[in-house]
Each structure stands twice: as structure tokens, then as C-alpha cells.
Structure 1
Amino acid sequence: MRRTVGALMIIGAVASVAACGRDDIAGQVQETDTVTVTETATPTAKPSPCRPADGADSCVITGAVITGDLAVTGKKVVKLVDVRVSGSVDLNGSSQVSVIGSKVSGALTVTTAGGATVTSTTVGGRLLVDDARTVTLLRNTVGGDLDCSVRRVGGNGNTVGGDTTGPCADLA
């Protein structure tokens, strides 16, 4: 008997809550209405692959695999060591850039007012070094063009599949 009374009380409570909920929206939404829900989500920020080595003004990436493009802007020092990038890399506004033992499937663009070193790196597309005071290119493979707009160049052992222009023309 106790179980029956308890079950009836629970059923009554559920029915009154359901009825109450329907009364709150009665006349506002018909059973044949279509309700559209728009969900707006803030995109999740992709964490920076940079690891500050000498403070907040540096970006050091070691042994990383990066899917897509990589862009680093405004860091004083940028170092990519043994990094694999499936897209292009754009390193802009740094005082010193080093790319060592890395592979970039797309283009590698380095814009620096200081120095740049690219060593033992494979670039699938174009390698562009722009505005640098000095650039050193050693044992690199470039699938596209090699373009340099720099003051002083050094290096050897580079293989270039496309055209070479500027002061780096003698490095291929």
C-alpha cells in the first residue's frame, strides 16, 4: 500500500510539472511550429607553438609537427629547430632568425632587419629572405625560387629547383 501511494504521488508530481511547463508556453508555440536554434561558439584559440627561451620577445620551436601555416611576427629572436610544417612559414619583424634541420612543405619567408640563418632545411616552395643585413644559407633544398634582398650573403651546398635572384644567386 505504501509503495502504491508513493508511486501515485510521484506520478502526480511529474504530471503537474509537465502541465505547468506547457501552460508557461501555451499560445506561444504550436506543435506544428519549427523552432530554429542558432548556436554561436567562440572559436578555440590555437595555442602558440612558441616556447620563450630568453624572455617574452623570443620564439623557440623544437621538434614540433605543425599542421597548416605558421606565422611569427614581432619577436626579437625566432628559432625553428627540427620542425615539420605542412603549410607555409612566415617569420616577420625579428632581429635574428634561425631555421635548422626543418621541413616546410610550402614557402618559407623571412623578413628581418638583422640576420638570418637557414641550414639543412627543405623548403617545398619558394625561399624568400628580405631586408636582412646578413643571411647564411647552408645545405638547403628549395623546390621553388630562391630570392634574397639582403646586404651580405654566405653559404654553400644549396639545391634550388627554381630561379635564384638577388645576392643569393651564387649560393645555388
Structure 2
Amino acid sequence: MRAALLAWLLAGAAQATEPSQPAPDIALPQATLAAKQLSELRGQLVYLDFWASWCGPCRQSFPWMGELQKKYGARGLQVLAINLDKQRADADAFLARTPAAFALAFDAQGEAAKRFAIKGMPSSVLIAPDGQVLWTHRGFRVEEAGELEARIVQALPR
């Protein structure tokens, strides 16, 4: 299943997300926040995460991302996780076991992942309030969480 999903993600046009470049404006299908396009979140620091139900590290990152939203949401951080499962039921089963305390979107077609040239799960992109990509990160390990959080805090609007 992983190989098929990765091949599917890599197929089609992709835009590399390099630091200091504008983040691609993507649709946020079935989003749990009012925004329907990523560009509607301008003015906020966005921690954009791509995940799937079969992703083991995603189970570890969800509680951490919930804590980030809780601690820094009032300072302008918006955590947004986009699910790439082809079947919404797979995502819903994951969320029943590992609830999300942050915004979600569901992109079964993988268009957002293609636009960001995502190559593995989870993958994250930190987007500045002006829409520029600050950095990208692939994977999640608990021992990296402190360093990632420090980088996010450094980028928060003052």
C-alpha cells in the first residue's frame, strides 16, 4: 500500500517547496476550518502536515501537533494536517484512535501533496504569515520534537 501511495503521489506535476519560495495555493477539501484555500490562512504561521492512516510516525506526531496548536494558536500558529487516504473511513478509524486537536483537511485525490512534491509520510511544511515557505521536514521522531518546536516558536509573529 505504501509503495502504491508514494508512486501515486509522485505521478503528475509537482512544485518543489523550497525555503523563501511562495507556498503553492492549494484547496483544502472537507476542511474542519473556515478556510477552503491555503491562501486564506495568510497572516498566520501555518504548520502544514501531510499524513495517512497507515503512517506509524503520524500516530506519534498527532499529540505533539495538538500541543503546538494549544500552546501557540493564540500567537498566530495554525496547525493544519491534510489526510491523503483514498478511503475516508481509513482516516476516520485513525482519528477515532488518535484524535486531532487541530484543523484537518481530506484530500483523497492527493492534489495538495502533488503541488508540494511530498515524498514520504508524514511530511511538514512551515509557511510564514506572508505565504513563503520557511522550511520542510520529512518524517517525525519524538526526539526531534523539541528542535522542531524551537524552530516554530522562532518563526511566530512577534
Structure (1 or 2) with the greater strand fraction: 1
Does 1 or 2 have the higher relative contact order (CA < 8 Å, sep 6+)?
2
TM over 0.5: no
TM-score tier after normalising by the smaller chain length: under 0.3
TM-score by length of 1: 0.20
TM-score, normalised to structure 2's length? 0.21
Give the structure with the higher percent helix: 2
